[in-house]
Amino acid sequence: MHVLIIGYVWPEPNSSAAGSRMMQLIMAMKEQGWNITFASPAQHSDHAVDLQSIGITRQSIELNNSSFDTFVNELSPDLVIFDRFMMEEQFGWRVEKFCPSAMRVLNTEDLHSLREARQTAVKKGYELDLSNQAQIAQYLHSDLAIREVAAIFRSDLTLMISPVEVNLLIEHFQVPKQQLMYLPFMLPTLSESHTKALPSFDERAHFISIGNFRHAPNWDAVLQLKQHIWPLVRKQLPKAEMHIYGAYPPPKATQLHNPKQGFLVKGWADDAQLVVKSARILLAPIRFGAGIKGKFSDAMTCGTVSITTQIGSEGMLLEDNNWPGEVVFLGQQDDQDDAGFYARFADAAVKLYQDEASYKAHQKKGFELLNQQYDKTYWQDQLIERLNRQLEQLPQLRQSNFLGLMLRHHSMKSTQYMAQWIEAKNS
């Protein structure tokens, strides 16, 4: 099997959950002995994985340039994975034209349109309710959603990381089940020796927040901590510190650093798990977002309990009341304003910070959740089996996907014609 992955960016597993997810996909296919080429139009980063050192061919490509046509025609891959729908828009029609028999797979990371819709709702003062069809129509029927869902219909298979988003696509957008695959994180199981070697309750100190600053939900969460939650925690725990880690901190983030308040903006972490496992509690007051969050799987691996919102825990919590920490709900009926949420979040943080028995119980929940839901061997086998089966049935599956056929028809190919126009203009 020859695989071409077209990445929105070069994989940075130490910077984001998306980078970790991409490396999980790469390693799952590499273990099959498949030949993998990773191509991207993005500028290379110092934090990116050295793909060549692990036997992956690296190729820079250009947007809106027919040089890609020659490249993909000569490469002649069996399978092409588009990392995020923007790459399918840009290169999907070129792959179809020059490698029509190659299976086209979309890796969403998360539903960008859902994240945007939730952010818009938060700005207007409330949370988007996915059980409310009127709200879905108002906020999710956006230009971004139209583009994203169209890319899903055009693809032979789409990898979805959250069961909530799978359900949304099937129930609301009428995407056929056979075009979707639920594929969460693929993580090594935790052994008893691993969990016993972790720092004890007394060996841990302070609170931590971690996440790429370029990701809007992470930056919003830092602001909620700084402006509203941390002052309430610090008042009750005057010796505690809030450590803020994340890749690419902008000046507006580093300006929040204030040792007197115990609010320390640390920025990039060379070893994310090292800093997470030294902390007692991870705080993530996430008000909007999509997908599932790598910070929480890291925290569970490190035995660090977390406090977050229902948006933060979404897609990871398959059973109620089983979060390894606390889930604090936004906008309860008795709240007159956001102050009620901030107070409940801070109180949960203070209580768990001082309660060793509860802490250990939540730690155990995290170990169990991780091993039960994200077993690397199980999900790798599921992925490879699905890709092979989908490739074998490709002609029949494409013929049954009428909306995909329609969206790939020449009359619908505005992205192709726009790209060709830009190329001609640039020349």
> Where do the domains of the chain lie?
2-186+376-426, 192-373
Instruction: Give CA–CA dist 418/396, Å, rounded.
Output: 31
Cα–Cα–Cα angle for 267, 268, 270, nearest 5°? 145
User: pLDDT of the chain along its 427 residues, tens only?
Assistant: 999 999 999 999 988 889 999 999 999 999 999 999 999 999 988 889 999 999 999 999 999 999 999 999 999 999 999 999 999 999 999 999 999 999 999 999 999 999 999 999 888 887 888 888 888 888 899 999 999 999 999 999 999 999 999 999 999 999 999 999 999 999 999 999 999 999 999 999 999 999 999 999 999 999 999 999 999 999 999 999 999 999 999 999 999 999 999 999 999 998 899 999 999 999 999 999 999 999 999 999 999 999 999 999 999 986 666 899 999 988 654 445 688 899 999 999 999 999 999 999 999 999 999 999 999 999 999 999 999 999 999 999 998 888 888 887 766 667 787 888 898 888 8
Residue 128 in contact with residue 139, Cβ under 8 Å?
Answer: yes
Domains 2-186+376-426 and 192-373 in one fold: yes
Cα distance between residue 265 and residue 245, in whole Å:
6
Buried-state track 83-112, b at ≥16 Cβ within 10 A, e below 16 = bbbbbbbbbbbbbbebbeebbbbbbbbbbb
Question: Does the model's pTM come out above 0.85?
Answer: yes
Alpha carbons 254 and 222: distance in angstroms, whole number:
11
CATH node for 192-373:
3.40.50.2000
Domain 2-186+376-426 top-level CATH class: alpha beta
